[in-house]
Structure 1
């Protein structure tokens, strides 16, 4: 049986917290920033947890159980 490989982009994108939750960074922060408000850009800087709807997919990409 071959080894199971972790998805290369996923291991750079997601971080696992000490309690086992998966952290992600927010999208829409790379360009077209002049029309976005200061409050919105400040909120986009903060990380958040992966939603429960996508948790199984992300776990599969990271080869977690």
Structure 2
């Protein structure tokens, strides 16, 4: 049985936490930041834990995580 290829772009975007869930960075914090409030930018810094439905799709792309 051959090895399953990991989708590299997905493996760079998601990390596994100790509980087994996946976390990711939020969007909208790369450019055009001058019109966004400090409150919004501060809350966008937090990482998000994926829901179980999304998690199963991502784990198909990262078989050896």
Task: State TM-score, norm by structure 2.
Answer: 0.86
Structure 1 residue runs of 4 or more that deviate by more than 4 Å after TM superposition: none
Verify: 1:7 aligned to 2:3, yes or no: no
| Structure 1 runs not aligned, ≥5 long | none
Distance 1:32 1:53 in 2: 31
CA RMSD of aligned residues (A): 1.3
Q: How many residues align?
A: 64
| Structure 2 runs not aligned, ≥5 long | none
